[in-house]
A and B are shown apart, each in its own frame.
Chain A
Amino acid sequence: MAGKKTISRVTIKKMSRYKKHPASYRDPSGFVFEQDDIYYRQVNKPYAANYERLIKSGLYDLLVKEKKMLSHTEVEENLTGEEDWYKTLLPEQLRFISYPYEWCFSQWKDAALLTLELLQTALDHDMILKDATPFNIQFADGGPLLIDSLSFEKYDETKPWVAYHQFIGCFVAPLLLARYQSADLLRMFQLYPDGIPLRLVAGLLPLKSFLNIQVWLHIRLPNMLSAGTGAVPKKTPAFSRKKMKHLISNLFSFVQSLSLPTIKTQWNNYYDETILSDAYLNAKKKIVEAWLRELPASTVLDLGTNTGLFAEVAALTGKYTIAVDADTACVDKLYNECRKKKITALMPLCADITNPSPSIGWDNTERSSFSDRMQTSLTMALALIHHLVIGKNLSFDQLAETFSEFSPLLIIEFVPKNDPRVDLLLANRDDIFDDYNEDAFLKAFQEKMIVLERTMLQGTGRILFLMKRKD
């Protein structure tokens, strides 16, 4: 912080305007702050030499060119007024922030591989990656991207990788738990945002995983060593560039080799074996697409997206679309399809909307909650409400309240009680849903919204609504 003597009137005025990002306190190299709804990054004096090296070595240009790192422009002004100021960076602004515990397996894997590629490229430029946390990675333009421009420092050949332990706990551990136990365990990262403890990982991995020599080397061995006397060698063993090369290529092939066993979940074959006909899906697609093209919405939130059939429609109309589903297998399928088809305006995300990610970290402010980040111009809830009302006992009032908070526009599908899908939901439980009908649905939603359109979906009894929030 600037000392009292040096604060001029101008800086006092400026200091009151900027707000440091609550999660940006760990690294003394600099920090992220917000001013007038724009995010900046300040580079502090102690990091100056490393920052200059990043730029002058050509590492920055190469990584930006290869779309592996977020680009920035330098602002020649000390916006924070802090004494430690060296440079202000204006990074390319991100549309949306996702957290690793909301990613599917393939997103984790791509982020891990990117981290190793960054490390390799840095070494080629005589620098090294000093942080390896997935929080430094965001998905933009369809692929992973490093957002922390202060992650590199000068490489010292005699030292091993300073972020190795972090990489194992933050990337390898979650990937292994997903590979050998369940992809749902990726969400465990929310409990251990600094990395899943190896002791825990070793305990959770099945015996057969230890037949894998890599698991033994990177999980079992370090765990055994840390469970010993705890004596840390005073002299760190000398490392070399060659050893580093072996380590990176080993980690690379290890991460590359991890894949999920093919499983059939409750949802990932929903459209393939559904009783819903093609005619119904096509009719729905047509209506949704026509509405989307007309509406003045720039961002769309698709809740219960399944494998993203309608999220893709939204993305292809040019709207940035966040596609959410609780089933990680579905999200994985969608993410891989988007990468294959190069659909960049779609952000697939794993989240259970009946239990979305909370705000976590120090003072509950470091990582914001799901609802705080989902402010979009339009929400889609297609073939969803029967799962929430009949499957989860939520009321129409609760849905209307929450959906209207997400966005000013809503496309929602009403699935009536005589629908075969609803029959399935009611097959093994008492029907306590006497008020589940279109009138009750409309009464609840009209408290918050105005109905703009109502269209019956031929041959199904299902109804599509377009609504606008009352302001």
Chain B
Amino acid sequence: MLPYLLYIDPGSGSYLVQAIIAAVLGVAFYFKTIWLRIKLFFGGRKKDNQPGNHKEDEQV
């Protein structure tokens, strides 16, 4: 490990990490929404409450 790393607040590195994670989650969320629409279109009405379920909607 480079010695100067000791002087970098671990929090600042986490900004980049969070940006990447948020991007990944954003993409996943996008595809999940599309997938749910497809499911809904092909008679996925059995689980009526699922698409509207706040938590389910956003979990990736």
Chain A positions near chain B (C-beta within 8 angstroms): 159-162, 164-166, 168, 217-218, 221-222, 225-226, 229-230, 232-233, 236-237, 239, 242-247, 249-250, 253
Whether A164 pairs with B17 at a CB distance below 8 angstroms is yes
Whether A246 pairs with B14 at a CB distance below 8 angstroms is no
Which chain B positions have C-beta within 8 A of A249?
A: 55, 58-60
Whether B15 pairs with A246 at a CB distance below 8 angstroms is no
Interface SS of chain A: helix
Which chain B positions have C-beta within 8 A of A225?
A: 13, 16-17
Q: Return the contact of A250 from the options B8, B10, B25 (Cβ within 8 A).
A: B25
Q: Return the contact of B26 from the options A218, A230, A246 (Cβ within 8 A).
A: A246
Whether A232 pairs with B22 at a CB distance below 8 angstroms is no
Q: With A237-B19, A247-B21 given, can you name 12 additional A-B contacts, CB distance below 8 Å?
A: A160-B15, A164-B18, A165-B17, A168-B14, A217-B24, A236-B15, A239-B18, A243-B22, A246-B22, A246-B26, A247-B25, A250-B60
Mind listing 18 A-B residue pairs with CB under 8 Å?
A160-B19, A161-B18, A165-B14, A225-B13, A225-B17, A226-B5, A230-B1, A230-B2, A230-B4, A233-B15, A237-B19, A243-B25, A245-B58, A247-B18, A247-B21, A249-B60, A250-B21, A253-B60
Which chain B positions have C-beta within 8 A of A222?
A: 13-14, 17
Whether B13 pairs with A246 at a CB distance below 8 angstroms is no
Which chain B positions have C-beta within 8 A of A253?
A: 55, 59-60
Which chain A positions have C-beta within 8 A of B18?
A: 160-161, 164, 239, 243, 247
Please list the 10 inter-chain residue pairs (A to B) with the smallest Cβ-Cβ separation, ordered nearest first: A165-B14, A243-B22, A160-B18, A237-B19, A246-B25, A249-B58, A253-B59, A222-B17, A230-B5, A236-B15
Q: Does B12 contact A (CB under 8 A)?
A: yes
Whether B15 pairs with A237 at a CB distance below 8 angstroms is yes
Q: Does B38 contact A (CB under 8 A)?
A: no
Give the complex CA separation of A239 and B4 in angstroms.
27
Which chain A positions have C-beta within 8 A of B4?
A: 230
How distant is B55 from chain A, measured CB to nearest CB, in Å? 7
Give the complex CA separation of A243 and B4 in angstroms.
31
Which chain A positions have C-beta within 8 A of B11?
A: 162, 164-166
Interface SS of chain B: helix
Q: Return the contact of B21 from the options A217, A226, A242 (Cβ within 8 A).
A: A217
Whether A232 pairs with B12 at a CB distance below 8 angstroms is yes
Which chain A positions have C-beta within 8 A of B5?
A: 226, 230
Which chain A positions have C-beta within 8 A of B59?
A: 249-250, 253
How distant is A221 from chain B, measured CB to nearest CB, in Å? 6
Which chain A positions have C-beta within 8 A of B14?
A: 160, 164-165, 168, 222
Which chain B positions have C-beta within 8 A of A162?
A: 11
Which chain B positions have C-beta within 8 A of A226?
A: 5, 10, 13
Which chain A positions have C-beta within 8 A of B19?
A: 160, 236-237, 239, 243
Q: Return the contact of B13 from the options A165, A166, A217, A242 (Cβ within 8 A).
A: A165
Give the complex CA separation of A237 and B19 in angstroms.
7
Give the complex CA separation of A236 and B11 in angstroms.
12
Which chain B positions have C-beta within 8 A of A245?
A: 58
Whether B17 pairs with A221 at a CB distance below 8 angstroms is yes
Whether B15 pairs with A218 at a CB distance below 8 angstroms is no
Whether A221 pairs with B20 at a CB distance below 8 angstroms is yes
Which chain B positions have C-beta within 8 A of A166?
A: 11
Which chain A positions have C-beta within 8 A of B13?
A: 165, 222, 225-226, 232
Minimum CB distance partner of A251 in chain B? B21
Which chain A positions have C-beta within 8 A of B1?
A: 230
Q: Return the contact of B10 from the options A165, A221, A244 (Cβ within 8 A).
A: A165
How distant is B6 from chain A, measured CB to nearest CB, in Å? 10
Minimum CB distance partner of B54 in chain A? A249
Minimum CB distance partner of B59 in chain A? A253
Which chain A positions have C-beta within 8 A of B12?
A: 232, 236
Which chain A positions have C-beta within 8 A of B58?
A: 245-246, 249
Minimum CB distance partner of B29 in chain A? A246
Give the complex CA separation of A31 and B29 in angstroms.
42
Q: Return the contact of A232 from the options B8, B20, B21, B26 (Cβ within 8 A).
A: B8
Given A165-B13, A222-B14, A232-B12, the answer on whether A160 and B22 have CB atoms closer than 8 Å is yes
Listed residue (A160, A218, A221, A244) with the most chain B CB atoms within 10 angstroms of its CB: A160
Give the complex CA separation of A226 and B17 in angstroms.
10
Give the complex CA separation of A164 and B2 in angstroms.
24
Which chain A positions have C-beta within 8 A of B16?
A: 225, 232-233, 236-237
Which chain A positions have C-beta within 8 A of B24?
A: 217
